[in-house]
Every structure is written in structure tokens, then in C-alpha cells.
Structure 1
Amino acid sequence: MQYCSQRFFQIVVLALLFVTGGARASDDAVGVYAAFQESVFQVRIIELASGSQASLGSGFIIADGTLLATNYHVVSSKIFEPEKYRIEIEKDDTSWVLDVVAVDAVHDLALLAIAEDPDADETESIDSVEPAGLVGRPFILDSGLPEKGETLYSLGNPHDIGMTVVEGNFNGLVEHRFVEQIHFSGAINPGMSGGPVVNKNSQVVGVNVATSGNQIGFLVPGSALSALLVNHQEAPSAEPLLQSIADQIASHTSSMVAAALDTEWERAQLGGVMISSSPLPWLECWGNSDKDKKAQTFTVSRGCHSGQALYLSHGFSSGYFEYEYMFFEAKSWPSFSVYQYLAQETGHAVPGNRGPTEQLASYRCLDREVENAQGLRARVSYCVRPYKKLKGLNDVFYMAVSVDRDHESVMAHYTLSGVTQASAQQLLAHFSEVLAWPSL
């Protein structure tokens, strides 16, 4: 396997020489590989009952050599189902079993350490035991951002074929994201998640996290990893990992709600109704309209969302905010038919995040007719579902359809996932006032 890894790297270096037409970048790549090939590991998640590999990623040595950094999503299955999975790394026919010791679920980071030996003598003084180190040279972390266009090198284990170096460029931070990510123009492939991305000085400036293909990759900034490491070293958390994750998601969504409420929402006309929209740069917005001459109807809609949701585990995401408005007009229809049509059209709306039944309880809804301070009357449904394992978190779904106009109606809805009850109530109070008829 070692020969195959080195042979694949030689092919990568030849390709870099051909593409760039210069030796400097390739020399840098050779230097990075030579210095740190022993410090990057394949992280394997083993399903215990079958003894088979369930998933894999990459990780790298940091700090004093006792910690391995990787992505949270690489090891999340172990966190949520510790009795079902084991984390392993291997180098030169030597295997280590690792435990997760700290996570940052918002930035998709985790720290791993060699698992304690269950057969160790518990009477032996912990102070007398030297820390178990991994074989390899620890990477140095750089909390700053590179210059735009700077050449970077991504390391990892793509497709289970051995350690690889991929050259790319720093293209700044990704726009329209509440959580910062680096735009990296390089081929990050499956299996490289959790691997380091270094500058020409071999300092870690980012961590591989995702790809959109076509040489578009995304990195966790090195500053987030530095912060996680410092927090773990200076004030290691004594609470269970699941509670740490719950607290991190709650802090994230509370910050989103606070940012939204601290910004003055702009009034605008949508069809025949006045709506309020947030100008926050991390909200991605869209709109559409349709005029049906045969049915004599007019529909116009507008919505915004916070972009990518936070990954928690397979099929389970959170930390997401979206809202939408839809105005519907049918001047020749009977008045009650207008409300019925819009209620039916929006009745199939579902929350923007996903989650399995073992993670989420059922929605409980409160339905009533209300009139807001703008004088607009609507039938409102407010639904909440609590998380089962992440205590204190909830998903909230709000839907309102106006009932006080004969030939026109408006719908407003929002989803907020992974939120505390306090933050949910703050957003509800605000969102109740976002609609108004122009004449009022």
C-alpha cells in the first residue's frame, strides 16, 4: 500500500508539471509531501457488528502530537451511535483506535485522541504517564487568511487510494454564508474531508470540508481550528459531546435570529401587499411571478434562506433559516375560493431541514385566527418539534394565510431549525408583523 501511495503521488506531481509548465509549484508540492506524508492519516469509521468500513475521511496531527484534527461530519456517526461504530487510523501496519474529545459542529471540526486502554491499571497516577503520541510531525496552524490567488496545497486520502497532494488557489471567503468558509480552486474528492490545506510554508490555513465539483472546493478556515484547539487545551468541556453540539447549534441560531432582528427590515410591495424583507448579506433570495389569463389569476412570490444547513448526522441537518411570501389574486373568483386556493397551494409546504424520527419528535401545532398590528387578519399555524438527543433544540414552522380580502390573499411562512424556545418566540413576535395591506 505504501508503494501505491508513493506511485500515485509521482503521477500527481508529473501532472502538475505538465499543467503549470513550471517547477516552483511542483517543488513546493514535493516538499510538502516529503515533510508531512507521515502526519496525514486516513480516518476510518468501522461498523462493529460487521467489522466493515462504513465511511472514511482524512485527519492530520496537531498540537503536541497527541491530537488528530478532522471534520466533524467524518466522525459524527460515532458521536450519535457510539455503541455501533469505532474510529480507526492506520500507518505502516500499526493501527490506533481513537475517541472524539472535542467538536465544533458549526464549523464542521473535530479533535481526536488515542482511545484509553480499558485494561489499563486505574491505580496508576495519570501524571506519571507520558501522553500517547501519534507517529508523525505535527502541523503548525495559521489563523490568518492567505493572499487572494495564493497557491495552496490540499492533502488527504481520496477514494481510498493513498495520500495525495492537490494544488489550488485561495479565492477568498465564500459570499452569502453566515458561517465563514474558504473558496478553494482545487479538486477536493471524497475521502479528503478533514485533511489539511497548507501554504508554501506548510502551515495549515484551512481544512478540506466539501466540494461542488469542477475545481470548486470549500475549506474551514484555520482560525476556527485554532479556536477549537485553544478551547480544548485551556478549558476542556466536561459535558457530553451531544450536549456540546446542542449548545453550539443553539448559540449559532440565536446569533442568526439576533442578527436578523437587529437589522431594520425593508418594506416593499409584492403584488397587492406590503411585505418586510431582511437585507442581511448571508440570506440568499429569489422571486417568481405567474399570470394565468385563462384562470384570470396572478401569483407572485419571494423568499430568502440562509444557505447551507449544518450537518449533524446522516440525513439530519439543522441551523437553517428560511422565509417566503406569496401573493395571490383572482378578481373574478368568489371570495372564499381565493383563500381556499392559496391555503391548499401552500398546505404541502414542509420545513427546510431534514431529520429522522429517531432524532426528532412529531410537530405540535397551534392554529388560530389573529389580527396583527397592521390590521391584517390571517389564519396562523405555529408548529414546534423538539430534538430527542440534542436537548433544548427545536424546529419551528410558521404559516399564515390572510382571510380579510375578497379577491386577494397573501401567505407568509418561515422555518427555523435547531433553535431554543426563547429565540423562537423572538422571531415569532417579529414575523407576526411583516404583512400589511397598502391601504392600511
Structure 2
Amino acid sequence: MSLKTYTFVLHGLRTHLNTLLALFASCVLLCGFSASAAETALADTPQVFRQYKDAVVQIRIMDKRSNNRTALGTGFAVDDAGHVISNFHVISEVVWHPESFRAEAVRANGSVVPLAISGFDVVHDLSLLKLATPLGTHLTLDAGPLDKGTTLYSFGIPLDLDFTIVRGLYNGLLPKSLREQIHFTGAINPGMSGGPTMTEAGRVIGINVATSGNDVGFLVPARYAVALLQQRANAPINSAAQMLKLMDTQLVAEQNALATRLLAAPLTTDTLDHYRTPRDWSDFFRCWSNEEHGEEKRYTSLTMVCGSQSNIFLTEDYETGTVHYSRSYVQGKGLSDLQFAHLYGSQLGVGPRVPDATREDVGNFACNTSFVRQPDGLPLKYIFCLRAHRKLPGLFDAVIMSATLDQTQSGLINRLVLGGVSYDNAVRLGRKFLGAVTWSNH
């Protein structure tokens, strides 16, 4: 290599090295800034925890006879008078059996304070409680909108471990939801129910209510807690009869609103063979389809099931507010008419999933069967079943079914299930749903 060539190469290496050094220096500055920003963001979490933890309490439901705990949750103070917001499902045992259970709050410092029930919103799973001794601090409810991606902080006592803070993100209201909930990207675990989820400024935008795991959590929007506080702060509940009356009033109003909504909504249909059958009723229903082939493929059953996925919690074994519907098109392949009739009858006899309840909660189903013709002449077997809620007068669970009777080797079965509706609303909704079953050429 000549001296001239060597000098040229050396100069090029020096230039390249200087460029790399400049880039490295820039990277150090930038990376240093990013790390510092990240550390600042993480430092916000312990600051939020220290600032607001004293307004949060663990809620314990105690058996009066044994003085043992039967349920745990979280709550938080919302005013200086000692009112606390939590979930209805946290204190439901006290509502149903106040003679057997009581509620108490455990403060962050470990002291225990008795709790009384001031009210609840059973539809949105909220409760309003009253501390015997106010905490001396409280959080502010904020019903205002947030930008998607806003950092939030959730408080609670998961798995009875300790007072805990979880950092996550606001992801807006759940789409296609019958009852409004916020999607929170953060870990909500058992024991955190009823706890506050807030902004860095300490403004509560939602109340922890449920989780699907994998950092998918759900919150009740704070505006429902605001309404509950306004309605019930000066109206304490003193007896089990008052609690049941309040629950019944709320559930009757909710089912009336739901029935009005469904009766006003268009019920679209589609074609199965020579039938028109219900398909889409409202945007809060989610639908799934399935195709089943019978033994030796001698029949097929095409099924679609649509549900609201938003039941109302009453107890661990008792729910209401259910709305779902389904259809099954059954077709024989090589069966005799008698064999198909037996198959079709057995398919109709498969009961749909009804709302969870115990014999203490509801009576037995009573059913009425009739044979009718639709206005276009389509013959149907019509089954209407009701069971009454024992402690909630005027509310029923309804199962309404129809089966077409015009073919010997095929048929269409439709089912509608309603949890906690009045008799009149069950009739009206059943008529609308089954009225959409017609021949496709009419």
C-alpha cells in the first residue's frame, strides 16, 4: 500500500470514528433522558399510593354467630360524612340476611370500623355504606371523559394480602354492552372488588368490578356512583324489608327500560331453508354459530346462539337480567318420518340455559303449550314457561319456544330466555321474537 493510499484510508477511518463517537454521545444523551423520564413515571406510582391509600378500606363481611369472615372486598370514602362506595356483590349477604351477617371496614392502619348499608344500585353492582367513624379523608368521583391510553391507578386488597396499587390504562367504554362498563388494562384480582381506579390527580373514574384475567379488567363508570350518592346519602336503610323493596324497585325499572328498548329495536331476519328466522335484535347481543352432525351423519343441526353477556348479580347462586335467544335448524338425512319426529321432539326437549337460582330464590317453571298458525299460515308448536321470583314480587324468568310443524324431515326451533321480567313484558317480547318466524316465500 502506498503512503498516499495509507494516508487516505487512515483519514477515512478517523472520520468514521469521529462520526461513531458523535452518534454514541447523542445516544447517551437521548437514552439518559428516556431513562430519566421512565424513572419519573414509575416514581408517580408510589407517590399516588402514599397520597390516597388512607381513603381506601378493606371491607369484611362477618358471620354474626361465629364472628368469622365470609367475604372480602374493597371500598373507598367519598365524603367527610363517612360514606363509602363499594360493589353490591361485596355486601350482598348482608342485604339478603342482615340477621346473620354484618359489615366492617379495615383501615390502612389496621383499625376496624363498623359499616352500615345506606343504599345500593343492584343493576350496576354498586353499594353505598356508612362508616361509624369517618376516615378524615376521601376521594373525589369524576364522571368526565378521558382519552384512551390515560394512565390509571387501581387500589384494592387482592387475595387478602395487603393494600395494593396497580398501574394500568384507560381503554374506554366496552362496545356492544348492555350495561355500561369501562375497559381497564390492568390486573384486578379477587379482593379488589369495589376499590377505586383513579387518575394521578386522585379523581376516581371507575370502581373495580370484574376481571377476565391477563390484565383485562372492568370498572363501573363513576357517574353511577355519583348518582347513588345523591339518591341515598340521606336515606338510610334500616331493615331487610326496605332492602328487598329497594332491590325490587330497581329491577322492575331496569327490565321495563330493557323491554322498551328491545320492543323499539328492529329485529332483522335471515333465511334458513324455506324459513325466515330472527337474527339481529340489538347491538349488545353477541352471536355464535355451530353445526352438529348426528350419529352416522343421519341428521344435521345448525345452531345460532345470541346473548347479552351482562347478567345482574344477586348472590353467588342467583342472577337475573339475562337475555339470550337461539335457533336450531334440524334436517334428517335418511331417517324415517317416525325417526325424525322422535329426533325433533328430543331436540325441542333440550332446555336452554336459564338464569342461576336456588329453590329459595325462585319457584318451579310452569309451562303452557299450544298449537298456532302464523299470519302467513306457518304452523307452530308454541311453549311459554314462567317461574316466579319468591322475594321479588312481579318478576319472572321466562322461556319462550316455538317449533315449526310443516315438514316431516326438517324443522326450525327458536328459543328466547328472559331473566327477571314482568309477565306483560315476557308476553310482548315473546310475541315480537316468535312473530319473526315465517315462511321465506311470504
TM range (shorter): 0.7 to 0.9
Give the match's secondary structure for 1:350. coil
The C-alpha deviation readout for 1:194-242, integer Å capped at 9, x for no partner, is: 0000001100000011111111111011111111111224777897122
In the alignment, is residue 200 of structure 1 matched against residue 216 of structure 2? Answer: no
CA distance in 2 between partners of 1:361 and 1:222 (Å): 36
State the shift of 1:170 in Å.
Answer: 0.3
Where does 1:14-25 land on structure 2 (aligned, <5 Å)? 22-25=38-41
The equivalent of 2:42 in structure 1 is 26
- Do the aligned partners of 2:103 and 2:114 also contact (CA within 8 Å) in 1? yes
The residue that corresponds to 1:109 in the other structure is 126
1:94: which partner in 2?
Answer: 111
Give, in whole Å, the separation in 2 of the partners of 1:273 and 1:333. Answer: 21
1:65 aligns with 2:67: no
The corresponding residue for 1:80 is 96
> 1:264, CA displacement in angstroms?
1.5
Q: Describe the shift of the 1:90–1:293 C-alpha distance in structure 2 as closer, same or farther (beyond 3 A).
A: closer
Give the deviation of 1:284 after TM superposition: 0.6
Secondary structure, in 3 states, of the residue corresponding to 1:187?
Answer: coil
- Post-superposition offset of 1:76: 0.4
| Equivalence map 1:30-429=2 (5 Å) | 30-91=46-107, 92=109, 94-114=111-131, 133-233=133-233, 240-290=242-292, 294-330=296-332, 332-429=334-431
Percent identity reads 29
In structure 2, relative to structure 1, the CA distance for the partners of 1:144 and 1:165 (3 Å cut) is same
User: Does structure 2 conserve the Cα–Cα contact (< 8 Å) formed by 1:342 and 1:401?
Assistant: no
CA distance in 1, matches of 2:408, 2:178: 41
Q: Find the residue that maps to 2:400 and give its secondary structure.
A: strand
Kindly provide the CA deviation profile for residues 151-202 of structure 1, in whole angstroms up to 9, marking residues without a partner as x.
0000011111111110000011112211011110111111100000000110
CA distance in 1, matches of 2:386, 2:226: 36
Q: How far did residue 292 of structure 1 move?
A: 5.7
Shift, 1:339, TM fit: 3.5
- Identify the match of residue 438 of structure 1 among 428, 432, 440: 440
Return the alpha-carbon distance in structure 1 between the equivalents of residues 36 and 159 of structure 2. Answer: 25
Q: 1:111 to 1:404 in 2, by over 3 A?
A: same
The whole-number CA distance in structure 1 between the counterparts of 2:287 and 2:439 is 22
Does the aligned pair in 2 maintain the 1:301–1:325 contact within 8 Å?
yes
Q: Partners of 1:345 and 1:26 in 2: how far apart? A: 58
Tell me the amino acid that sits aligned with residue 147 of structure 1: D
State the alpha-carbon separation in 1 of the partners of residues 235 and 64 from structure 2.
Answer: 32
The CA distance in 1 between the partners of 2:305 and 2:270, in whole Å, is: 13
Q: Is the 8 A contact 1:374 1:433 kept in 2?
A: no
Q: 1:420 to 1:293 in 2, by over 3 A?
A: closer
Matched residue type, 1:256: L
Kept in 2: contact 1:77–1:314 (CA 8 A): no
> What is the letter of the counterpart of residue 85 of structure 1?
F
Q: Does the aligned pair in 2 maintain the 1:342–1:411 contact within 8 Å?
A: no
Is the alpha carbon distance of 1:388 and 1:292 closer, same or farther for their aligned partners in structure 2, counting shifts above 3 Å?
closer
Output the aligned Cα RMSD. 2.1
TM-score under structure 2 normalisation?
0.86
Q: Which amino acid aligns with 1:80?
A: W
- Given that residues 80 and 137 in structure 2 are in contact (C-alpha distance below 8 angstroms), is that contact kept between their aligned partners in structure 1? no
Structure label with greater radius of gyration: 2
Give secondary structure in 2 for the equivalent of 1:342.
Answer: helix
Q: Is the 8 A contact 2:117 2:236 kept in 1?
A: no
Decide whether the 8 Å contact of 1:196 with 1:207 is kept in 2: yes
- Relative to structure 1, the CA distance from residue 157 to residue 294 in structure 2 (aligned partners, 3 Å threshold; closer, same or farther) is closer
Distance between the aligned counterparts of 2:402 and 2:278, measured in 1?
14
What is the match of residue 14 of structure 1?
Answer: none
More helix by share: 2
Instruction: Please give the secondary structure, in 2, of the residue aligned with 1:194.
Output: coil
Q: Deviations over 1:309-336 (max 9, x none)?
A: 1111111111010111111122543335
Deviates further, 392-401 or 267-276: 267-276
- Which position in structure 2 is the counterpart of 1:123? none
1:158 partner amino acid: P
Q: How far did residue 439 of structure 1 move?
A: 3.5
Tell me which moved more, 74-83 or 58-67.
58-67
Query: What SS class does the counterpart of residue 429 from structure 1 fall into?
Result: helix
Structure 1 unaligned spans of 5+: 1-18, 115-131
Per-residue deviation at 1:351? 3.6
What's the offset of the Cα at 1:93? 5.0
CA distance in 2: counterparts of 1:233 and 1:204, whole angstroms: 18
C-alpha distance in 1 between matches for 2:36 and 2:168:
11
CA deviation after TM superposition for structure 1 residue 385, in Å: 0.6
* TM norm structure 1: 0.87
Query: Which structure 2 residue ranges, 5 or more long, are not aligned?
Result: 1-34
Aligned length: 405
Sort the Cα spacing of 1:283 and 1:369 in 2 relative to 1 into closer, same or farther, 3 A. same
Could you tell me whether the CA contact under 8 Å between 2:83 and 2:233 is conserved in 1? no
